[in-house]
Amino acid sequence: MLYPGIIRKYRDDLPVAESSIVTLHEGNTPLFQSIRLVKELNLPIQLYYKLEGLNPTGSFKDRGMTYAVSKAHEAGFRAVICASTGNTSAAAAAYASRAGMLALVVIPKGKVARGKLAQAQIHGAKVFQVDGNFDAALNVVKEVAEHPKVTLVNSINPHRLMGQQSAAFEIVESLGDAPDYHFIPVGNAGNIVAYWRGYKAFHEKGLAKKLPQMCGFQAAGSAPIVEGHIIEHPETVATAIRIGNPANWKAAEEVAIESQGFIKAVTDEEILSAYKQVAQLDGYFCEPASAASIAGVIKMAEQGFFKKNASVVCTLTGHGLKDPDQAIEQSPAPIHISASSEELLKLIKL
Ligand code: F0G
């Protein structure tokens, strides 16, 4: 049978008229076990990556966007609007095109990774950029969304988080239970809330026996929740989570408390190191923001945090090809040779 996307898979949790469903068959992403990274770093755990970069637009945003755009279509809106550090706008643009709706996106100028901007553009979104950060862009779109023909598809829209819960459902289905710990990057702080709701929903239905501790990670230069105040000028190489005033701040703090987890920070160095390690040891290329979750696992393992053999899931939120400039910057330049095998073989040790 053709995999139908998350709305048809989880029909009772995501109510919408059948004729309004807008899907790119998102979801059903692999849960992929780390072999070499855990071994090389001596991590005493079973580590799994939820590969959200394998969604149709290359990030977890597709799960929320299929439902938000379907509901917008059902309600008869003409356009969707979002502020974005890149991935939300890519998903909004793709789903709006599938629905025959207009996508309006507002991004912080110069701070959106190239692949993401390319996606919004090729799907025909109207792209606006502001001299300011994500938080300034979000203020603009909230006002435009007061127009009767336009609806907001940032994660303030409750349908987004309802769709994003489906990733937690899939993890429970794959493992047969919730993991002991769930590690996740935190930007606007919606996804950590969505996962927790998803785990709790399956727990209440008796489909999971336990609940995970939710462990969120912000980038140190953009860590308002960790520092306890708005960051006026957030900075980090992980541009996806370069956010100084997260919309779901309160709810994310409640998740950390309720799940007996936490929200902490990792530095850009730790993020980039994890970004390279997962690519070079486990063969998976994620974007820098996604690697904040792995950086968090490495940091907590160093502090002896984990009970032995614990199951840990890391959400790798977006594909590495979203941000090719960062990958190239982090790697040695290609070596120039004359077109000769001899010269190549002289330059390597086998
Ligand atoms: N990882 C990636 C790759 C993201 O794009 C985002 C958020 C996050 C993590 C954080 O998730 O906001 O739910 O805490 N990106 C948003 C965007 C802000 O506009 O694409 P969150």
* CA distance linking residue 139 with residue 22, whole number of Å: 27
User: Looking at residue 122, what is its pLDDT?
Assistant: 98
pLDDT in tens, the chain (350 residues): 799 999 999 999 999 999 999 999 999 999 999 999 999 999 999 999 999 999 999 999 999 999 999 999 999 999 999 999 999 999 999 999 999 999 999 999 999 999 999 999 999 999 999 999 999 999 999 999 999 999 999 999 999 999 999 999 999 999 999 999 999 999 999 999 999 999 999 999 999 999 999 999 999 999 999 999 999 999 999 999 999 999 999 999 999 999 999 999 999 999 999 999 999 999 999 999 999 999 999 999 999 999 999 999 999 999 999 999 999 999 999 999 999 999 999 999 88
The length of the chain, given as a count of residues? 350
Phi, psi (deg, nearest 5) at residue 43: -85, 130
DSSP 173: H
| pTM for this prediction | 0.97
User: Looking at residue 1, what is its pLDDT?
Assistant: 78
Answer yes or no: is the C-beta of 287 below 6 A from any ligand 1 atom. yes
Q: How far apart are the CA of 335 and the centre of ligand 1, in A?
A: 35
Q: How far apart are the CA of 90 and the centre of ligand 1, in A?
A: 12
Answer yes or no: is the C-beta of 85 below 6 A from any ligand 1 atom. yes
| Distances, alpha carbon 27 to alpha carbons 9, 197, 198, 283, 286, in Å | 9, 17, 14, 21, 17
Q: How far apart are the CA of 87 and the centre of ligand 1, in A?
A: 7
User: Looking at residue 342, what is its pLDDT?
Assistant: 95
Q: Which residue, among 123, 80, 70, 127, has the nearest Cα to 101 in the 3D structure?
A: 80
Answer yes or no: is the C-beta of 187 below 6 A from any ligand 1 atom. yes
Q: How far apart are the CA of 118 and the centre of ligand 1, in A?
A: 17
Please report the atom of ligand 1 found closest to the CA of residue 85. 19
Token pair for 348: 């390597």
Q: How far apart are the CA of 334 and the centre of ligand 1, in A?
A: 31
Please report the atom of ligand 1 found closest to the CA of residue 289. 1
Please report the atom of ligand 1 found closest to the CA of residue 189. 14
Rounded to 10°, the helix 190-204/166-175 angle is: 50
Answer yes or no: is the C-beta of 88 below 6 A from any ligand 1 atom. yes
Answer yes or no: is the C-beta of 141 below 6 A from any ligand 1 atom. no
